[in-house]
Homo-oligomer: A and B are copies of this chain.
C-alpha cells in the first residue's frame, strides 16, 4: 500500500516526520525567496513551503506551479511560529518543508474558482461539472449522500432486510407516468421500458417469500421537468410481508430518527404527527404541508354563506368552497401594487382572481368590503383571528383550485416574510388518501398512488359502486413541505386486484394482457405485504441544506433533460437505427 499521507489529517504530533503528499494546489503565494502553496486532497488542506535552504531545485519547480496543478511532494512536518498559526484550517499549526516536488499534471486557468460560493451560472457549472464537484460545498453534499446511504443500508441490514436487485429493462405498462422506452434489437418493433419504480418486482419478491426486501435503486420518468424533478432519480425502495401499516410506519420513523441523529446531530421525537389527506388539504391546501409555520387556510363557508358577494355565492352554490388566509401585519408589508400582482400568481393555479381585505381599526377596507354587513364583517374577523394591520386573502372556487392557489400563496408568504424556522425538520405522515381520482383527460378514474394500493378494509364495499369515495391504505412521508416518499399496504388477493383494475376502466382482457402474471401470482400463496419508497435525492437535498435537487446528483440533467457535459442525448448512426428497425419521423410526417 501507498505511503501517502492524507494532507488534511497532518497534526502537531507529527512534527519531525517525513511525509509524502499528493493533491491539488489550492493557493500559491510567491514571496520571491520562499513559495507557499496550500495543497488540497480529499481530506483537507495543508501549507507546504519551498525555500532555497531546503531545496533549490524544488523551489525552481514550484515557481512553475499554478492553481489546480496536481503535485506530489516529499517533506518534513514543521511546527509553525505562534504568529503564523492559521486557525481557519485544521492543519494550521504545522506546515510542510518540502525537499522534493514533482508536477504530476498541469492546469489551465479555470472557468470558475474552486470555492464554496461560486457566482458561476448553473450552465457553466454543469458543463464543467468535474470542476464544480471539486468545490467544497459539493464535496460535502456528496459526503452527506454517501453517509446517508450507508446509514440506511446499515439500518435495514440490522432489521434483516435483504438487498435484491430488480431489472432495468422491464415491460411498459399503461398506468403511471410516461415511460422511457428502450427498443429491442432482437425483437423488431418491441420495446423495454425503464422502470418508474420496481413496484411489481418487489411485490413478486414478497410472493417469493423474501419477506424483507430493500434496494437503493434508479428509477425513471419521462415527464416534463420541474426544478425538483429529474428524469432519473434514486429511490430507497422497501417492501415487507406480514408487517402492517403501524409496523411499517414505526420502522420508517426509527430509520429517519437515526439519520437525523447521525447526519444532523438532532433528536427527533416519535411518533411523527399524522394528518389525513382531507385535513391536509383543508388546513394547508397541500398534501405535503410545510408545518414549520402556521398561517393555515381558514374555512369560511359558514361565515360568508349569506354575503352578497357573487364570487363567494357562486362558489358555494356550485359545490365549491371559500377559504381565507390571514397575513398577520400584512397591511403594511404589501403595497397595493404588490397585492394586485398576487392575482397573477394565483392564476397559475387555476384561480380566476384573488379577493382581499385590509383590517383597520375602523373595520375592513378594500374592494370587496362593501359586500359584508357589519355583522358578517365581525364574524369574518373573529373566524380569521384578524386584528388591525392584518391582510386577508380569499379563495372561492372549486375545492381543488382553492386548495392549490391558497396553499401556494401560503408557502410564498412563508418564504417571503421569513415565517419558516429553517432549523426545524418537521416530519409528518399524510394518511387516508383517496384510492382513485377522476382524470378529466382520460375520462376515467386513475390510481392516486398506483393500481396495487390496497383500499382501506372499511371502504372495500364501495370499490365497485363509488370508487371515488374509497380511501387507500396509503401514507406519504412529508418533510418540511417536501414529499419524501410514499407507501401503502398492497392488494394481495386476485379478486380485489381485479375489482381495482375494473374501477380503473380496464376490461378483463386488458387487465389480463397487462398484468395477468401478477394476478396469477396472487393465486399461489401471496402473503399480505406493504412497502414504502423514499426519494434519496430529496432527502439528501434537505439534509445538506440545499434547495436545488441537481446539487445532490453528481451528473444531473437540465430542465430539458440534457447533459451539458457529455452532450447527451445525441444523434446516432443510421446503422444503429437500422439495427433497431427504427426510423426517425420528420416533423411533417408526424403531423400527417
Q: What residues of chain A have their CB less than 8 Å away from a CB belonging to chain B?
A: 1-2, 4, 22, 24, 40-42, 68-70, 72, 104-108, 110, 128-131, 133-134, 139, 142-143, 145-146, 149-150, 153, 157, 160, 162-172, 174, 178-194, 200-201, 204-205, 207-212, 218, 220, 222, 231-232, 234, 241-244, 247, 250-251, 492-493, 517, 521-528, 553-555, 557, 560-563, 565-573, 576, 578-585, 587, 590
Contacts and interface: CB of A to CB of B under 8 A. Distances in A.
A561 B167 CA distance: 12
B178 A107 contact: no
19 contacts: A1-B247, A70-B527, A70-B528, A107-B523, A108-B524, A130-B207, A130-B521, A133-B205, A134-B208, A164-B554, A165-B553, A166-B555, A169-B568, A169-B569, A186-B561, A192-B568, A192-B569, A201-B555, A582-B585
B167 A232 contact: yes
Nearest to A20: B242
Contacts of A24: 209, 525, 527
Given A163-B150, A524-B130, A555-B167, A579 B247 contact: no
Given A143-B162, A201-B555, A105 B526 contact: yes
B582 A582 contact: yes
A218 B168 contact: yes
Given A133-B208, A163-B146, A232-B169, A525 B68 contact: yes
- In the A-B complex, list the 5 residue pairs whose CB atoms are closest, starting with the nearest: A133-B208, A107-B525, A171-B568, A68-B525, A190-B569
A150 B178 CA distance: 34
Nearest to A493: B105
Nearest to A208: B133
A201 B556 CA distance: 12
Contacts of A222: 185
B169 A524 contact: no
Contacts of A1: 247, 250-251
A106 B527 CA distance: 9
Given A166-B554, A171-B563, 19 more contacts: A1-B250, A105-B522, A105-B527, A128-B524, A131-B524, A142-B210, A146-B162, A153-B153, A164-B554, A165-B234, A167-B563, A169-B232, A169-B569, A171-B569, A183-B183, A184-B561, A187-B560, A192-B569, A193-B568
Given A150-B163, A181-B183, A201-B554, A170 B563 contact: yes
B580 A181 contact: yes
B181 A182 contact: yes
A6 to B, nearest CB: 8
Given A105-B493, A184-B561, A521-B130, A570 B190 contact: yes
Contacts of A188: 584-585, 587
Contacts of A247: 1-2
A178 B185 CA distance: 10
A104 B187 contact: no
B171 A566 contact: yes
A134 B209 contact: yes
A2 B248 CA distance: 10
Given A1-B251, A232-B168, A578 B554 contact: no
A495 to B, nearest CB: 11
Nearest to A42: B211
A231 B169 contact: yes
Contact of A524 (B68, B72, B145, B573): B68
A68 B209 CA distance: 10
A190 B576 CA distance: 12
A567 B143 contact: no
Contacts of A181: 182-183, 572, 576, 580
A576 B164 CA distance: 30
A166 B565 CA distance: 13
Contacts of A583: 582-583, 585
Given A162-B146, A231-B169, A243-B2, A179 B576 contact: yes
Nearest to A167: B555
The residue among A40, A167, A172, A554 with the most chain B CB atoms within 10 A of its own CB is A167
A183 B2 CA distance: 45
Nearest to A537: B165
A33 to B, nearest CB: 26
B164 A200 contact: no
A375 B250 CA distance: 85
Contact of A171 (B70, B194, B231, B570): B570
A128 B251 CA distance: 31
Nearest to A24: B525
A130 B182 CA distance: 25
A160 B43 CA distance: 10
Contacts of A157: 150
A325 B582 CA distance: 49
Contact of A525 (B106, B220, B590): B106
A168 B200 contact: no
A248 to B, nearest CB: 10
Contacts of A493: 105
A167 B170 CA distance: 18
A242 B4 contact: yes
A565 to B, nearest CB: 6
Contacts of A2: 242-244, 247
B234 A584 contact: no
B210 A133 contact: yes
